[in-house]
Structure 1
Amino acid sequence: MAATQTAEWKAVCEKFRLAQELSEVESKKDPENNPFRSKYKARDLLKEIRCSLKKIESEEEIEVSNEADCESGQMVDEGPENDAGKACAGDSPAGLRSARIAVLEYYLGVNHVETEELAAGEQHLTTCMKLIDKCTTSRENVTLYIQARNQLGVLWAGRDEIEKAQGFLEIAESMYLLYMKEDGQPPMDLEDFFVPEGEGLSQQEKTRRFEMAYTHTLYYLAQVYKNLQQYERAGQYCHTTLQRQLEYKQFVPLEWAINAATLSQYYINKTCFMEARHCLAAASVIANLAGEIPSEAAAKESEAESERREELLQKRAEIARCWIKYCLNLLQDAKKLLEDNIGELDLDRQDELKRTRRNEEEDKEKGRKSAVLFGSSDTFDSICSLEEKVSSVFPLDFDEARAIFLVGQCYVAQAKEYFAMDGHVTDHIEILQDHSALFKVLAFFELDLERRCKMHKRRVDMMEPICKDLKAQYYLLICRQLQFELAETYYEMMDLKLAVAERLDQVDVHTIKKFNHLCSSSMKYYQMFLDSLRSPEGKFPEKLEDDVLRPALVARFRIARLQSKLMHSDIPTQLENLTLSLESYKFVVQYCEEHPESRKAVETELELSEEMVLLLPLKINRIQSKIVPST
């Protein structure tokens, strides 16, 4: 076109380039007290371009119309309402005018949104779409149409109009698919409308930008489906987004890695451990593309290096925490599969699963793997290598469980390096709790009772010092969690020691002393938990809150059982322990009588408590009858 070669047109193109630079580059340097300075300058330039464009295109239209007059001897008068229809024709002056003005309306809309003027932004974006609405899948307009709908989708999502946002984004998605089916050639990019002739983008760059716009559509749809609680679709769109970002090299390594690690947690909740493992392996590999962690010395010398070191350490520690959850959930789900009705390892079930698993899991994995793979030739081998270090199938015996446990424990050490107790109290304790849970579930697979007991002792050793040092007035909820877990851990050790003692012909004094210590320790922490529920005046609540109802009643039930299990040859001490046990059983029964709605929370414990309230008085009477009256 003639206009694309004039000095005036070149000036318009230069002005457009400057507006882009102001908006995308210079705006990042704007001062805090004037954060939109460059955006406002860019807006003024875009408006100037729009005025210039009308003048240039008007002159061009007269020139072309005169040429058409000479050839046909007639001229059709087209009103402005028909400009949109002509936007399909790249060589039509009216079409070019509409397309270029639509591009300017798009950038003005984005500018207003970025400067928090949403109503004006919406108006410009809507005008943009109206100008090209009659020809949305043309090579000239499809990129603009998708990007405008992306922006409107984000705008309405920001207003919590999620379903409206969904509509804009789903149409953008369908438009991409339709264009790729009907044409598929690299379409015009928005910048192509404002470059001198011969200086347009390459076909490769046009393709990259078009695919990037569609990747954004999928990313925004993933967020929309998540907000609509359509988690299945959200997970699928998130995964596809991550795949495309790698394929087209449109990602920031740390940001991509965290998103992949987060997606792994969705797959874990669905028990899709192969997919979860792949996400985590990819996250670890891609995070390493962010570079080496600066040394402490370098971090002290430079503020930028200090910030970079902090970010790298934090993100890699967060990925390590996701690996811990992977290992823990894989072990816990395997436990559910293998346990009998009293929570012990079902050996028959174990043998059955071992017989049927040999080829089944491998065939399943091969069938699903092609759909979820991440990576390019540069990273694929590294991802696969990392995957091979941990299984994605349920462990069925101790050796398999231990291999997963060791991987999880390795990531515990990594996570604790950043989330240290000094400065990250809550995170550090949550990691310790996960470490404790890893030992707990590993113990399930161990058949030797003494070794199981030692695993629970490791849990006590890691939690007890922190529980003693932590200030309840600042960390009440965490203190309660630790107290209850320590009580349960000692309780499990007591049960294991009891099982060992029952196999012996005669229990020695040392074993009795150890057993009583475990009982007393468990009771102590259960009581600490119960005392934490008291008011500042020391009064126990008449009605328990829902979140502590079951733990509190279970604690009283367990204290009752522990009191009755204490081993003493001294009869008065036996009677005292049984009397205290009866009081705790009565508490559970009485509370449930006064609050019938609580019965469902502790059905098993309540049934046993009611039984013991009847039986214990008989046992106490029998023991009392053995006491010889003094003469």
Structure 2
Amino acid sequence: MRTMSQTLANLKRRASRKVVELYQLECPADTSPNDTKSFESKYKIRDILRDLLDMLKQFENDITSSEYTLLWSFFSFKLATTFIETEERQEGRHTLREILSTLQSRPTMTGFFQAIETLAACTETTKSVLDGCIASISRSDDLQAFSGLLQSCFNSLAVVSAPSSHQPEAEGEDRPDTDVESTALHWLRRAESVFQIYSRVFGGAIKGHAPECWESLGFFDSLDFSSPTSKDTTELIKELMFETSYTTTLFMLAQAYSNDDDRTEAAKYCQQTLQRQLQFAGHTEALLTRLGVENHKAASTDGDTVPVPPSDWLVSSVVRIDPIEWASNASTLGEYYLACGHYEATLECLLSAWT
């Protein structure tokens, strides 16, 4: 009798061929801008993801609930992303909310969702508040499987929501949307809470305990011609993707507070974003170099050959720091602190920009 792990391996082996097609569409050899081709690719990607979801459905009774939900959620998240990228915001939002509902229905995630709501509603995050939130949460396979995905879902929901409480969700709407759940800030506060709670549950150390990400699902490792990614490298990828997603959350929070005319909070999150960009710049470059990203365009792309997987997806997911842009942003932040009379913070920003 075939075991669950053997069945999952068989599923990944079958799905991997579709994932190769997905890879080739998302990371084309021809990188010249072409809006028409780009949109055509998005629709092809959507068809592939629907095929993958149909394929997964055939295995629903043969793999564990966690395995099924993990793959379904990641396929659905990428599907939601294609809707957003083709300006079908309502479809994207609906798919993202469906993922949240599915994860929330899992008994092992109930306490986590409750803690997220509690922390997101707090005006100030302190150690005691965090300790109170995680009191009923324990380390679990589900927590480690779904937290990164959950954070990304909240970030994406912010993208398809009103940029501030003063503005409608999308151009063309003639009335402000007063539903708090329709604002970017609502979802970003929850994305922030996911990272803070997860970090606290694991004692402040993400290293070695990072949640799953698309790049860690192991589809390429199912291909006969693909060299399996080492466990250490996979862990580094998971850590970097989770940390990068959180930096994105902070960057978007700075924008959301700025849109709400809260310059103090906007400056706080801008400073945190700049600090983290600098903190993880070296980690990003080291990992990309380790995966051979700089040479990936010279690799063979004939037939089914996949050069240095999953490095190309990492390149598109991880924003490398631009020193000039970073220095400019630090200087701008320093000017704000100067206007507020915060001279120590001003000096710190300007010195960072100059060096």
Which TM bucket (shorter chain)? 0.5 to 0.7
Equivalent residue, structure 2, for 1:177: 196
Tell me the amino acid that sits aligned with residue 106 of structure 1: F
* Aligned match for 1:232, one of 264, 287, 297: 264
**2: CA distance, partners of 1:27 / 1:215:** 29
SS state of the match for residue 144, structure 2? Answer: coil
CA drift at 1:127: 1.3
Deviations 1:545-577 (A, max 9, x none): xxxxxxxxxxxxxxxxxxxxxxxxxxxxxxxxx
CA drift at 1:95: 1.7
> Is 1:221–2:226 an aligned residue pair?
no
* Aligned match for 2:87, one of 101, 112, 116: 116
Deviations 1:164-212 (A, max 9, x none): 2111111111121111111242221233235246646521221111101
Do the aligned residues in 1 keep the contact of 2:216 with 2:234 (CA within 8 Å)? no
Deviations 1:142-170 (A, max 9, x none): 00000000010121035266952111111
Equivalent residue, structure 2, for 1:264: 334
Matches within 5 A, 1:52-451: 52-58=55-61, 60-61=62-63, 93-133=64-104, 134=106, 135=109, 138-158=143-163, 159=169, 163=180, 164-183=183-202, 184=206, 185-195=209-219, 196=221, 199=229, 202-249=234-281, 250-284=320-354, 383=355
Do the aligned residues in 1 keep the contact of 2:326 with 2:353 (CA within 8 Å)? yes
TM-score between the two structures when normalised by the length of structure 1: 0.37
Deviates more, 1:223-232 or 1:159-168: 159-168
TM-score between the two structures when normalised by the length of structure 2: 0.65
Is the alpha carbon distance of 1:254 and 1:114 closer, same or farther for their aligned partners in structure 2, counting shifts above 3 Å?
farther
**2: CA distance, partners of 1:21 / 1:261:** 40
**2: CA distance, partners of 1:44 / 1:258:** 42
Do the aligned residues in 1 keep the contact of 2:161 with 2:184 (CA within 8 Å)? yes
**2: CA distance, partners of 1:145 / 1:255:** 30
Deviates more, 1:114-123 or 1:152-161: 152-161
* Aligned match for 2:9, one of 5, 12, 28: 5
**Please, which runs of 5 or more residues in structure 1 have no aligned partner?**
62-92, 285-382, 384-631
Tell me the amino acid that sits aligned with residue 43 of structure 1: R
Is the alpha carbon distance of 1:33 and 1:202 closer, same or farther for their aligned partners in structure 2, counting shifts above 3 Å?
closer
Is the alpha carbon distance of 1:127 and 1:207 closer, same or farther for their aligned partners in structure 2, counting shifts above 3 Å?
same
Do the aligned residues in 1 keep the contact of 2:216 with 2:237 (CA within 8 Å)? no
Is the alpha carbon distance of 1:5 and 1:100 closer, same or farther for their aligned partners in structure 2, counting shifts above 3 Å?
closer
Tell me the amino acid that sits aligned with residue 92 of structure 2: G
Do the aligned residues in 1 keep the contact of 2:247 with 2:273 (CA within 8 Å)? yes
Do the aligned residues in 2 keep the contact of 1:30 with 1:36 (CA within 8 Å)? no
Is the alpha carbon distance of 1:217 and 1:283 closer, same or farther for their aligned partners in structure 2, counting shifts above 3 Å?
same
CA drift at 1:25: 4.8
**2: CA distance, partners of 1:113 / 1:26:** 24
Deviations 1:258-284 (A, max 9, x none): 322221221121122332233233334
**2: CA distance, partners of 1:108 / 1:26:** 22
Deviations 1:352-397 (A, max 9, x none): xxxxxxxxxxxxxxxxxxxxxxxxxxxxxxx3xxxxxxxxxxxxxx
When Rg is computed on C-alpha atoms for both structures, the one with the higher figure is: 1
CA drift at 1:223: 0.7
Task: Indicate the percent of aligned positions where both proteins have the same amino acid.
Answer: 27
**2: CA distance, partners of 1:150 / 1:27:** 29
Equivalent residue, structure 2, for 1:42: 45
**2: CA distance, partners of 1:46 / 1:280:** 47
CA drift at 1:96: 1.2
Deviations 1:217-249 (A, max 9, x none): 111111111111111111111100110011111
**2: CA distance, partners of 1:144 / 1:47:** 19
Equivalent residue, structure 1, for 2:302: none
Root mean square deviation of aligned Cα: 2.4
**Please, which runs of 5 or more residues in structure 2 have no aligned partner?**
113-141, 164-168, 171-176, 223-227, 282-319
**2: CA distance, partners of 1:167 / 1:260:** 27
Do the aligned residues in 2 keep the contact of 1:157 with 1:224 (CA within 8 Å)? no
Deviations 1:494-525 (A, max 9, x none): xxxxxxxxxxxxxxxxxxxxxxxxxxxxxxxx
Is the alpha carbon distance of 1:113 and 1:154 closer, same or farther for their aligned partners in structure 2, counting shifts above 3 Å?
same
Q: When the two structures are aligned, how many residues end up with a matched partner?
A: 252
**1: CA distance, partners of 2:322 / 2:46:** 28
Is the alpha carbon distance of 1:46 and 1:181 closer, same or farther for their aligned partners in structure 2, counting shifts above 3 Å?
same
